[in-house]
Structure 1
Amino acid sequence: MTVTPAHLHDLASRAEALTTEALTLGGGPPEGDYLAVVQQAVESLARGAEALRRAAADLAELQAQPCGMPWTVCPEHGNTLSSSAGISTCRVCRRTWHYDRLGRPCREPVTWKVIDRAGTETRMCDGHVLGARAAVEGATFLRLDEGGAGVRL
């Protein structure tokens, strides 16, 4: 079985549900450390759920195929970056990156498959597909799902 971020998110949700259920336990036998043991279990489950969520995010980042286009764009607005003194800024949202994104290959995750009229397939991120939609007439744009299959939009 291949572990995916979705599997880890599911495990984290189940751990959170167990945490909630354990919190409702109370009124155990008056003798012994029953409540202290339950509290320790609740804290362990909560830590485990958080660790699973972090692991899911880390795994998703490791599995993400980078766009790789020879220049970087704003992930939300496309080719709207300007760069000065080593700081890149989106001219639309004003988001900044403290390095020159214009001179580096794009590291945003691939989210689209674009097929031009000649049948050439190019995979690209959300930001690059904005420019491609305006520039590539007659192309087919397929949004990729988690498994990498195209979904026609």
Structure 2
Amino acid sequence: MLIFKKHTLKLGVMTAALLGIGFVACNDDDNNVPQFRSKEYSLKGVRGADSNIVVGTVKLSENYDSTVNLVVTLNKSVNNTQQVIRLIKGSITAPATDTIKVDSVAGTGNAVTKTLLQNVREIKVGNDTISFRYDSAVNYTAFIKVSVKQDSVTAVGNVFKAAQ
């Protein structure tokens, strides 16, 4: 019985040592994994007290191949109504006449998400095509405007450089 206890103790110590080596070898801090960047911007309401309330977000994210995505999330939408989303050059206080992207998402009465740009390397602004990678995007001046009709704006928010 005494011999069995001695071997059990040795076996336990060796198992613990091997597990410790295994945990160190499997460390998740791997320097070869690329770090993707992302930045989030707020959309606010436009009427009265709503102008201080965050009603949605816009997320710019970088992909492995250096393309970018731009995803708009509205916390609430108007049921059975198209929510028109516009990415416009300039800022809310100094808009330009160039609309970069227009898209829409069907309202459900609940939160909705729309990918406005996906795997984009460049955008067309007016007659110009410009590089649109993560670094150039965050230095670009633009804003998002969401409406349920042409004149009924429900949310706005500066994005990229305009949000600084």
What TM-score does the superposition give when structure 1 sets the normalisation length? 0.29
Higher strand share: 2
Which one has more relative contact order, counting CA pairs under 8 Å at least 6 apart? Answer: 2
What TM-score does the superposition give when structure 2 sets the normalisation length? 0.27
Larger radius of gyration: 2
Higher helix share: 1
